[in-house]
């Protein structure tokens, strides 16, 4: 793939594999530790992703732990009173979360017999579950080679590979194809977590840590060929 790519061309499998290997190597040393990363329970992954929406992970951690201490599974949460859930979720703000949780867990109990669906299209039918959350649940909770894309991942791809994107880059076909290629590995859930942490801790929107970046030798952004 040519650097400073403006044609929507995607990198080769070899280029993506090299990129992923370096990101995972960095993640093994520097990845963040959170309780929802210590489980492969799809339900706990789903709830964590709903909590993390527009909310910092450090703020979510105590709320996540309290919620599952009180209500350890789908059935317990589905049968819980809204007031109790609302009290636990209160520190996170965003009042839509309490009714959203109620809708999701009741549907899981009534329609799926307390089991989280293991297919993207089924997951997306759950209230408040879109492409990103579905991909996270499937890759982390089920170990499936399912992609995720958000603005952070778009930024990393754009900088490193020199691709052009639209304003809504996470919807671009070539970006999604790159995400699918990136996650075609032995441990897709770990790979997805790795690139998210890399975007948060190294390849930040402002003042990225290019000097300490393990990818800087091949990065189009660092080389100055990306404006």
Positions marked catalytic: 49
Alpha-carbon separation of residue 87 from 67, 80, 100 (angstroms): 10, 12, 15
Inter-axis angle of helices 151-161 and 188-201, to 10 degrees? Answer: 80
State how far the Cα of 170 lies from the Cα of 155, in Å rounded to an integer.
10
- CB-based burial of residue 66 (10 Å sphere; 0-12 exposed, 13-18 middle, 19+ buried)? middle
DSSP label of 73? S
Inter-axis angle of helices 151-161 and 173-182, to 10 degrees? Answer: 90
């Amino acid at each position: 793939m040519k650097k400073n790519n403006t044609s929507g061309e995607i990198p080769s499998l070899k280029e993506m594999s090299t990129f992923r290997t370096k990101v995972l190597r960095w993640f093994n040393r520097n990845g963040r530790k959170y309780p929802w990363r210590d489980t492969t329970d799809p339900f706990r992954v789903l709830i964590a992703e709903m909590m993390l929406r527009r909310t910092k992970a450090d703020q979510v951690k105590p709320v996540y732990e309290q919620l599952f201490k009180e209500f350890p599974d789908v059935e317990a949460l589905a049968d819980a009173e809204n007031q109790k859930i609302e009290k636990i979720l209160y520190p996170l703000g965003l009042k839509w979360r309490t009714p959203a949780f109620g809708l999701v867990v009741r549907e899981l109990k009534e329609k799926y017999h307390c089991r989280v669906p293991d297919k993207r299209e089924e997951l997306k039918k759950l209230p408040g579950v879109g492409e990103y959350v579905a991909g996270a649940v499937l890759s982390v909770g089920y170990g499936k080679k399912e992609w995720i894309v958000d603005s952070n991942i778009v930024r990393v791809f754009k900088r490193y590979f020199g691709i052009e994107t639209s304003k809504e880059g996470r919807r671009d076909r070539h970006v999604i194809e790159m995400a699918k290629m990136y996650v075609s590995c032995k441990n897709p859930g770990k790979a997805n977590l790795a690139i998210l942490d890399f975007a948060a801790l190294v390849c930040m929107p402002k003042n990225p840590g290019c000097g300490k970046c393990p990818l800087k030798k091949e990065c189009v952004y660092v080389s100055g060929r990306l404006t």
